[in-house]
Structure 1
Amino acid sequence: MKPYQQIKIVECGEQLGEIPLELFAVESPHPYEKLGAPYGEISPYYLRQSVIKRLIAAQNYLQLLRRNWRIQIFDAYRPVAVQQFMVDYSFATEIKQRGLTIAELSPNQLREIWEAVYQIWAVPSLDLQTPPPHSTGAAVDITLVDNTGEIVNMGSPIDELSERSHPDYYANNSHPQAEYYHSHRQLLRDVMIQAGFQRNPKEWWHFSYGDQMWAWLNNQADSTNCFTACYGRLM
């Protein structure tokens, strides 16, 4: 169990709503659907209604700072079945990238790879007290698109299983483009924080509002806070 999963969930019953994609940039086809993730009739471009309002507010704030820049939505609502699919896919991909097969993995290698996978991916839990953040409709994975329509280089791709995914990896880093990467990660953070979101401490692209991680991060920021989550697992 991760620390944020100890936060109490008091489900508010707010419904999912369709993200107005015309206001944002969107990766098409959807990256996980393209891999065969089992969304069924559920669109990945849905979020809780209040989360959508805050995402629009973040887009509007971005426009004040960078004219004609847009937030690009990579992923939003994710049923637990999709979470399981992507965990399995990530595990298999990591084995392949290491030039190995699952049959030849030692117990230590197996443990190491699963630890790497779960640094990025939440456990696809069916326990109502420990839902994956995306399965609550409260979390969204995003990046930025500049005024020429190009995706801004953040120094690592979304979902990469490495320390480069950590939001502050490029802070005080010797990489020649470290300042560029870090400044744009900070820009993304600033517009989302302004709209009430919190950022996953280990993923520069993951933001949420109203889930357990969001409540836990607010409580960590101020010891007088006593936030609970208002969004639990939907399906």
Structure 2
Amino acid sequence: MILLDDSRVINVPVLDCGEPLAEISAMPSVTLDPRERDEAGEYGRVRLGVLERLCSASEELPPGIGFLVVEGYRSSIEQARRFALYEDHLWRSGVVDPIERHRRVSAFVSPVEVAPHCAGAALDLTLIDAEGIELDMGGAVNGHRTGEERNCPFDAPGLSDTASRNRDLLARALQRAGFINYPSEWWHWSFGDRYWALLTNAPTAIYGPI
């Protein structure tokens, strides 16, 4: 798996198209989850093109199933805070080698300079039913924070049939709209960032850090 701190990702050029951030709440078919709410309310925004693709993806879902967006745009300050916080967690857990620690942090929290969330290009999301209840995805969004790292990869072993079907449903809808998944986090999908450009052989990323 290619991690976000890989030199191939870092070396992808960025030619930002200049799209503004747009409010996810403006799209009635998508629900915003307040669990990652920040004081500025920035988590509920993404680039306009990302929002348009999310709208297209929602149309691929079966009746009664919708997206629950946990987080979109994230400031570079917040990204750096989360990187340092998880790095400290691993250090206190006994990961003393700095290179190994950086690699393991990057599996779940991107370095600021290439972070898709800081470009407004990424969404952390899951699926809900008509009652607003989250579907069984075999693990929580941001499960690495609560010791559920084993269940975080999209293809994590030991998933129930229900969780596997729900992850496949999520993937089909988002992939048809042009999104790519970060494989260590089943909930993380992006479009237009450096990681997307590398995996799709695009000549440049179209969204850079804001």
Which TM bucket (shorter chain)?
Answer: 0.7 to 0.9
* Match in the other structure for 2:79: 83
How far apart are 1:5 and its partner, in Å? 2.3
Contact map agreement 2:32 2:44 (CA 8 A) in 1: no
* Match in the other structure for 1:135: 118
Q: Deviations over 1:86-140 (max 9, x none)?
A: 22333344566x4xxxxxx5734x6554433221100123xxxxx3111101111
* Match in the other structure for 1:230: 206
Q: Helix, strand or coil for the counterpart of 2:168?
A: helix
Q: 2:96 aligns with which of 102, 107, 117?
A: 107
* Match in the other structure for 1:148: 131
User: Size of the alignment, in residue pairs?
Assistant: 200
Q: Helix, strand or coil for the counterpart of 2:60?
A: helix
For structure 2, the residue ranges without an aligned partner over 5 or more in a row are none
For structure 1, the residue ranges without an aligned partner over 5 or more in a row are 34-39, 99-104, 126-130, 220-225
Q: Helix, strand or coil for the counterpart of 1:61?
A: coil
Contact map agreement 2:182 2:189 (CA 8 A) in 1: yes
Alpha-carbon distance change, 106 to 9 in structure 1, aligned in 2, over 3 angstroms: closer
* Match in the other structure for 2:30: 24
- 1:202 is the counterpart of 2:198: no
- The aligned amino acid for 2:33 is E
* Match in the other structure for 1:47: 46
How far apart are 1:23 and its partner, in Å? 2.4
Distance (Å, rounded) in 2 between the aligned partners of 1:232 and 1:204: 23
Q: Helix, strand or coil for the counterpart of 2:203?
A: coil
Q: 1:183 aligns with which of 165, 170, 174?
A: 165
Q: So what's the TM-score if we normalise by structure 1?
A: 0.76
Q: Helix, strand or coil for the counterpart of 2:67?
A: strand
Contact map agreement 1:198 1:207 (CA 8 A) in 2: yes
Q: Deviations over 1:36-81 (max 9, x none)?
A: xxxx53521111111111111111211xxx2111100011000110
Distance (Å, rounded) in 1 between the aligned partners of 2:130 and 2:55: 18
Distance (Å, rounded) in 2 between the aligned partners of 1:233 and 1:182: 33
* Match in the other structure for 2:108: 120
Spell out the pairing of 1:55-74 with structure 2 (5 A cutoff).
55-62=54-61, 66-74=62-70
Q: Deviations over 1:147-181 (max 9, x none)?
A: 332111211222233242111114xxxx3x52221
Q: So what's the TM-score if we normalise by structure 2?
A: 0.84
* Match in the other structure for 1:214: 196
How far apart are 1:32 and its partner, in Å? 5.4
Alpha-carbon distance change, 114 to 7 in structure 1, aligned in 2, over 3 angstroms: closer
Q: Which has the larger Rg?
A: 1
CA RMSD of aligned residues (A): 2.2
Q: Among the aligned pairs, what percent are the same residue?
A: 26
